[in-house]
Structure 1
Amino acid sequence: MNSFVTYSFVIPFMNEEAVLPALLERITALMDKIDGISEVVFVDDGSRDQSAVIVAEYTAQDPRIKMIRLSRNFGHQVAVTAGLNTVCGKAVIIMDADLQDPPEVVHDLIAKWQEGYEIVHAQRRAREGETRFKKFTASLYYRILSQLSSVEIPRDVGDFRLVDSKVIQAIKSMPERDRFLRGMFAWVGFRQTIVQFDRPERVAGETKYPFKKMLRLAMDGVVGFSDAPLRLALWLGALVSLGAMTYGAYIFAMALFTDELIDGWASTIVILSFLSGMNLLISGVIGLYVGRIHNESKQRPLYFVTESIGVAEVVQMPSSNRVSNG
């Protein structure tokens, strides 16, 4: 790998043939303007259209453009990780391929990095072209995560950021399988700051993060960086137990001191149904954490690379707890 590279771009993509030509033109123009040697590594996360063909054509024209192809769709967070394991720049810029992360904002990210910051987050100030429901759920998600997480995760920040190479080495030492990079970058510390930008609407194609995937990402964030669900389950269990004991004491007192017969069929059914629901809820919360432990214990590699273009060395995420830095 070229140890003299200053800026490395990591851009994962899946089925983005409609937007890639425009992105490649803007990325190339950006690299022409910034000082220092640059490279961009596109990570094909299991595309089924002509996306990889389009990128391959550009790699033949410009040696700064490179690509690795994963053996299947492993997910956005894993695709970003594959890119981080491949690049060698002193500063790494992570951005999506849909042009909702404008390449021109990178100038502002670089300026903050040159001031000495090691992580520069791009914070969405406005969201164009999104429904009210999408904006509401996104806002709610970030605020809930901020309250529940054990680390301070910046609000309204996606994966668009600039990261110093020292931080990349720290991230490489964290081989967990259920990856939530936003939380991981917040957890490692270092000097962090924010650059705000207005997020444009998607130029073409369809979002690769529908509500189902956003919900899964939210669960990864909460479970991976907070034990609040477990503590909530504990307090709910204690509260329900206290309520049951209180009601039991009331029944005992009524039977002991009065002749009034308490009809308990309806109340018993309601209480049993409630307790059963609470039991299932708490079991489900515990199951989420047990499932993550099981996933970690299998120690499978995060991804497999089937093809690399323009990349001198591809680092696979190993199956052991030791992470190779190449």
Structure 2
Amino acid sequence: MSDALVARSLGTEPPRLSIIVPCYNEEDALDHFWRTIAPHLDDMDVQWDIVFVNDGSSDATLLKLVQLHRADQRAKIVDLTRNFGKEAAMTAGLDHAGGDMVVVMDVDLQDPPELLIDMVDLWRQGYDVVVARRVSRFDDTQLKRVSAGNFYRVFNRISPSKIPADVGDYRLMDKRVVAALRALPERVRFMKGLFAWVGFPTAVVDYERPVRQRGTTKFNYWRLWNFALDGITSFSTLPLRIWSYLGLFVAVVAFVYGVIIIGRTIILGIDVPGYASLLAAVLFLGGMQLVGLGIIGEYLGRIYSETKRRPIYLTGGLYGLKQEKAERP
């Protein structure tokens, strides 16, 4: 039995569970979320708190959160100065969560609170990470289901850090996993990849993903596309390598074709090639060069963001939390 498992089994007090909930314009969902999840947590043999991260909401989300905090001190708030994005909001939650185990979940209740009992039981059995895997995506459009499936397949083929298919951000992590995530310094963050990169013993819980009960999704296809680019460029350099191989292939083809043209000229004399084929070749090679520059630019832009070393997020206020957040390298 590992030391971590012994500590979980022999603890004199119930363990503390911290739940991180990123919020962006979720005023309509907050009350329903709290009324739904609080009874589930009260029935569990744990101490608990919920760290809401207000990601620069422009509606009354912060006001609703402050009302929750005043009614129940277990509702804690990290208020960001502007909208930094969900990845930064999750990072802020991880920096301020103080539980023995930490869960990341959405406020729309598409992450069923009923799974928390199974997650905590698996944590008590010694697993440091418990991920929730969707067995169906019937609430998503056909395009989103196909694109998500293809993204997982492509990512897992080109990255050494494998993301389980149909696993989102809903997961339980032991405090030592959270400490490992806090130690990762990158600014351009793809959290699913970071969760997979740190490793640790992992268990999987399957569930049927329900429809969103309150509010609307904040992700559109353009944001999802950019999210996928961040994931691929953060965890693989294969696109750059592929472009090197493609350039070498084109160079070899061009050399062979040049040898053929020289041979034909020596043997058959000079002929005048057509302008159409010449224009097609020039446009094709020019397009390839621009695409190659674009791929290099994606990586260069991320290097630029990292070298500036700006904070991942800024807090405008903390409610129920210590003013000193976890230090980042």
TM-score when normalising by structure 1: 0.93
Distance in structure 2 (CA, Å) of the matches to 1:47 and 1:121:
28
Aligned Cα RMSD in Å? 1.6
Letter in 1 for 2:132: A
Of residues 213, 217, 238 in structure 1, which corresponds to 2:248? 238
Measured after TM superposition, the shift of residue 294 of structure 1 is 0.6
Structure 1 residues 69-113: Cα deviation after superposition (integer angstroms, max 9, x where no partner): 100000000000000000111110001111111111111211221
Letter in 2 for 1:268: L
Distance in structure 2 (CA, Å) of the matches to 1:4 and 1:299:
39
Measured after TM superposition, the shift of residue 11 of structure 1 is 0.4
Is 1:284 the counterpart of 2:284? The answer is no
Contact kept? 1:125, 1:199, Cα under 8 Å:
yes
Contact kept? 2:155, 2:162, Cα under 8 Å:
no
Distance in structure 2 (CA, Å) of the matches to 1:138 and 1:278:
27
Measured after TM superposition, the shift of residue 58 of structure 1 is 1.4
Distance in structure 2 (CA, Å) of the matches to 1:291 and 1:74:
18
Measured after TM superposition, the shift of residue 317 of structure 1 is 6.0
Which range moves more in the overlay, 256-265 or 289-298? 256-265
Letter in 2 for 1:307: G
Structure 1: gaps of 5 or more residues? none
Structure 2: gaps of 5 or more residues? 1-12
For 1:44, the equivalent position in structure 2 comes to 54
Contact kept? 1:85, 1:314, Cα under 8 Å:
no
Distance in structure 2 (CA, Å) of the matches to 1:77 and 1:5:
27
Report the number of matched residues: 317
SS in 1 for 2:78: strand
Distance in structure 2 (CA, Å) of the matches to 1:314 and 1:192:
31
For 1:8, the equivalent position in structure 2 comes to 18
Contact kept? 1:146, 1:155, Cα under 8 Å:
no
SS in 1 for 2:165: coil
SS in 1 for 2:25: coil
Contact kept? 1:180, 1:221, Cα under 8 Å:
yes
Is 1:213 the counterpart of 2:223? The answer is yes
Overall identity of the aligned pairs, in %: 38
For 1:272, the equivalent position in structure 2 comes to 282
Distance in structure 1 (CA, Å) of the matches to 2:175 and 2:302:
28
SS in 2 for 1:177: coil
TM-score when normalising by structure 2: 0.93
Where does 1:1-326 land on structure 2 (aligned, <5 Å)?
Answer: 6-259=16-269, 261-315=271-325, 318=328, 322=329
Letter in 1 for 2:322: A
SS in 1 for 2:119: helix
Letter in 1 for 2:20: V
Structure 1 residues 206-255: Cα deviation after superposition (integer angstroms, max 9, x where no partner): 11111111111111110001111111111111111111112111111110
SS in 2 for 1:126: coil
